[in-house]
Structure 1
Amino acid sequence: MTGGGRASDGPDDGVRDARRIPGPRGAADDLDPRSTPAPSPPPPGGAPPDTPVPAQSEPDEAVAVPGAPVRDEGAAEGPVPVLSHRVLKALLGAWALAACSGEETAAVEDHLTECAPCAEEALRLRDAVGLLHTGGSLDLDPTLRNRVLDGCLGRRPARIPVPGWAAPYDAETARLDALLRDIGDAEWHAPVRLRWFEQERATSRRTTVAGVIAHLTAVDGLLSAALGLDDPLVGGEAPLDPAERTERYWSATRPPSTRAVREPWRDQSHELIRTASFAGRNVAELSVSYGHFALPLQDALLDRSFECWVHGGDIADAVDYPYEAPSAAHLHRMIDLAARLLPAALAGRRRTGLAGPARELVTPGAPGRSLHLEIEGHGGGDWYIALDSPAAVGSPDRAVAQVALDGVEFCRLAAGHVPPVEAAAGQEGDREAIRDVLFAAASLSRL
């Protein structure tokens, strides 16, 4: 026998030197290639006229696989390797990721035209690969927890529900806890600058993410003490002023706090919510002292939810984390609390000469002057701030000025994060009254 166009020295030389051409494809469950007999080499000049040509079986209908690379039929290709069904099936994952060699890719794609089960598996793998290349953000929506809880409670109401006046605190502590769960160990030491407004100027204090959580723990302890729970400040008589409590707690936790502060703060917030829920309706009016002033428990929890949101935003800015405003209903309650505190804050500034004098009433017992505070957008509404007495009720009929502000912007003003002279989007009427109310709103802020 001859092969390769040269004389043969022995019967095996032509087989060894001739190009191997795979025979017709077998069934989907090919045997191991080692047990498959090698095909005979073709004669160098083609088959003689009297040589019968083996009949080629028609291939099964090709199964199209969306997303599979299309091979150029006219391009020159090397020989397709003969691989078993088991090997080809094992290569499907690599093929879907475009990680096969050229020869392996050709073998797999040829196999997919014959084997329906493998073609279906290839479709599933291609779809799975598409999910690995999503263009959307992988960050969880901060409101996801609330939506899941709302859906669950809609099907099965809680046996002991959280009171409506405690819901903002429950929501804001949960959102902040989700942020803290996502950050790494190093980010607990990221610098954070706490800002507030004192007298006529902005003030700030530098701390860390862990220091902010320690601050929240110390001030939340005022509510714990009022409810008969453990106060995180132990040893000696604990101060009531929030700034003094914070300084003492920071001093007691030196060296600087780490992520270990998260669990005590989280447990304390859960215990506050649980106790308020089981205590019944009357506990809402329980007085909580802040030293220079006091608030009923329902307003104190609203105040703590406001501070939790503001400081959550401070932390989010420090670690580059997305953080949204509270829900419209909860933000409206926070704005309402600040609006109710404004007359007393204005009277306090007047006593120290920082605000204009009150006006005498022409008719005794008649309502005094008021300022129309119009909050637009998220959590908006209308409030009338009494200007001449903290005990008076603002009246639309006696409004001498109007200030229009966005809801989030007003909260940033009340948190001391926006200068009063830059806060109002719209002003009309008595300029002195407008200035006094804006500065009184900024004075609500504190460490």
Structure 2
Amino acid sequence: MSVSQDRSSTTGQPATAQRGRSGAAARLEALVAELFGVELPVGVTAWDGSTAGPEGTPRVVLRRRRALRHVVWTPGELGLARAYVSVDLDVEGDLTEALRRCWALARRLRGSLRFGPGQWRRILATAVRLGAIGPRPAPPEAEARLSGSLHSRRRDRSAISHHYDAGNDLYELLLDPRMAYSCAYFGSEETGLDRAQEDKLDLICRKLGLVEGQRMLDVGCGWGSLILFAAERYRVRVTGVTLSGQQAAFIRERVAQRGLADFVEVRHQDYREVDDAPFDVVASVEMGEHVGEKNYAEYAAKLFSLLKPQGRLVLQQMSRGATAPGGGAFIEHYVAPDMSMVSIGRTLDHLERAGFEVRDVEMMREHYVHTVRPWARTLEERWDEAVGIVGAEEARVWRLYLAGGALAFEENRMGVNQIMSVRPTSEGVSGLPLTSRRALLDHRPER
């Protein structure tokens, strides 16, 4: 993603850049060298026009001293994100490459960020000289502000609304025509995003073994890409549930346009409130991350209870190790508050404890890199439209979110997996063919 000066802000432009041993940028460069014994990973231009760091790399632009105050008051990722979203800090050049270089340095320095009294005095003296000591800057308006008990039904609705009710217009701008907001499935690197999303939807339907007339539930149905596809292609009767009012309204409009009222029902409802089981099959695509680790056993048990014996579940879900299971401070404050990602092993353990027999697990991490980058390109190409829809702060949240997200999948800091499980009968009968994987992938609707 190539990012030059943000078109949403023309204030706070640094003066003509000057290199040398004086100025704010040089002081910061000297501090990094003294504390860590390393060079800056990217170039830096400060508010006084001074520059430092390597040439020919992305450049961090500190437009105001307030950028440093964000970091002084909230050290680390969140302080930097606040400075970026508020346009106190910008990046000229390739934002993804800037993040890649900074993450590489962070990995090198891991475990060495313990400072003694002398180092803290040096940090404080530099901060005073640079004017970084001052009142705490207010967080950007785009930051989530939730209240109530974690993963209570009221708080979950607020958390979902923060991200998914940003406006259907923004998602229509960024996503494919089917409005699939999840990892696509690429047959090759040359496959286009629209085709890859359709292939993902068909793959889920084949793993579910859909047959005309079946009853299907989609837990966390988004903008309806899967339920509309399943109804049109496989002629199943589908119920979708979502906590987003804007998503529900969008799906109902498409159902009416396509004459699918006899096949598709969408509910603005919490999955815990679904009480009309059993269903022949259940899908849940990248919704489990919003459940929370403490509630995941309840989630898995609920999905199990909703299925008929021999009914199949396809669960597509992001995964992460023990570090930053919520995705990191930026994600948790700006994109998906209260989100929780766990390792694939823990997810499978929850499913098995609920009574499921796990029959197929497909890792799709690299597919998400190829999914997110087209969204990021579209955002840059249609930047002014995006700003007009959601405002400058929210557009910058999306720019940072997409660049960082693609990099996290590329570097294996996050993964995504598609899991097919079955609810066996009390006698242990799964109902699956012996050559189950080949049969699943060869399954096609009889129409």
TM over 0.5: no
| Structure with the higher strand share, 1 or 2 | 2
Give the TM-score category using the shorter length.
Answer: under 0.3
TM-score normalised according to structure 1 size: 0.24
Q: Which has the greater radius of gyration?
A: 1
**Highest relative contact order (Cα 8 Å, sep 6+), 1 or 2?**
2
